[in-house]
Amino acid sequence: MTPKTLITGASSGIGATYADRLARRGHDLVLVARDAARMETLAARLRSETGVAIEILPADLTRETDVAKVAARLRDDADISILVNNAGAALKGAYAEQDSADVARLIALNTTSLALLAHAAAARFAREGAGAIINIASVVGLVPEFGQTAYGATKAFAIFLSQGLAFELGPKGVYVQAVLPAATRTEIWERAGAEAAELPPMMEVGDLVDAALAGFDAREAITIPALRDAGLWDAYQAARRAMLPEFGNTRPAARYRA
């Protein structure tokens, strides 16, 4: 059966590149984003070049009704076997100086929609004993020192959600991957209002997605394309796991007792 993938944030950047790469792998697609015109242009090109079936599903994932519409599609369309949870945004400036409404929209898009769409897919995939969820997180979710507090917190959520889902759903036949890009050349910087002179060196989006798909093929739980030494992540995980037995202690550590 031809695989079908639903991709959020599919009008540009990482999402549009996933659409290109997966279409060339023979996947039928459901593209989700606010900009229907850009998705139609992308879909027309990919239909012509690859012959796959592509549907456009316009949605603003900061709106509850639109999230519910996409979640219903994930629950009801038994042909969708992969979710690429990519839609996201960033904010410029320090947390204390950001507008509270902007922070709320960031959380709605980067965490609430991500969690609800993953939930809709997970419920059906678990029943079917198959399927895959790809959550696009960020290395910023591991690095509070970068000073992108609100954005980083949403990406830390995406990492934890992915790890928790992998633990729960892996035994049921569902694969969950978190992709942690470092700085990548997409429109997210311009939309966040970043100045060109402030931008760090960036990975090209095609390289990022190709690496993410290599991690997908290898069934990695965490894929960090910029990390040259995979052993560093293994050491990070080992240090975290070494603390777990301590969490069962029923008395505070000696340093907290007079």
| 151 counts as catalytic | yes
- Average pLDDT of 169-187? 92
Using pLDDT thresholds of 50, 70 and 90, give the confidence band for residue 236.
very high
- Can you give the pTM of this predicted structure? 0.94
Q: Please state the domain extents for the chain.
A: 4-256
Angle between helices 114-128 and 149-169 (to 10 degrees): 10
Using pLDDT thresholds of 50, 70 and 90, give the confidence band for residue 194.
low
State the pLDDT at residue 186. Answer: 72
Using pLDDT thresholds of 50, 70 and 90, give the confidence band for residue 21.
very high
State the pLDDT at residue 202. Answer: 82
Using pLDDT thresholds of 50, 70 and 90, give the confidence band for residue 195.
low
Using pLDDT thresholds of 50, 70 and 90, give the confidence band for residue 105.
very high
State the pLDDT at residue 200. Answer: 74
State the pLDDT at residue 28. Answer: 98
- Average pLDDT of 213-220? 98
- Average pLDDT of 213-229? 98
Using pLDDT thresholds of 50, 70 and 90, give the confidence band for residue 41.
very high
Of 53, 27, 56, give the one whose Cα is nearest residue 39: 56
Of 58, 99, 84, give the one whose Cα is nearest residue 192: 99
- Average pLDDT of 179-186? 87
Length of the chain: 258
Using pLDDT thresholds of 50, 70 and 90, give the confidence band for residue 201.
confident
Q: State which CATH number among 2.70.170.10, 3.30.9.10, 1.10.3470.10, 3.40.50.720 fits the domain covering 4-256.
A: 3.40.50.720
- Residue 151 CA, chain-centre distance (Å), reads 13
Task: Answer left, alpha or beta for residue 129, where phi above 0 means left and psi between -120 and 50 means alpha.
Answer: left
Of 21, 119, 7, 109, give the one whose Cα is nearest residue 55: 7
**Catalytic choice (151, 175, 236, 256):** 151
- Average pLDDT of 75-81? 98
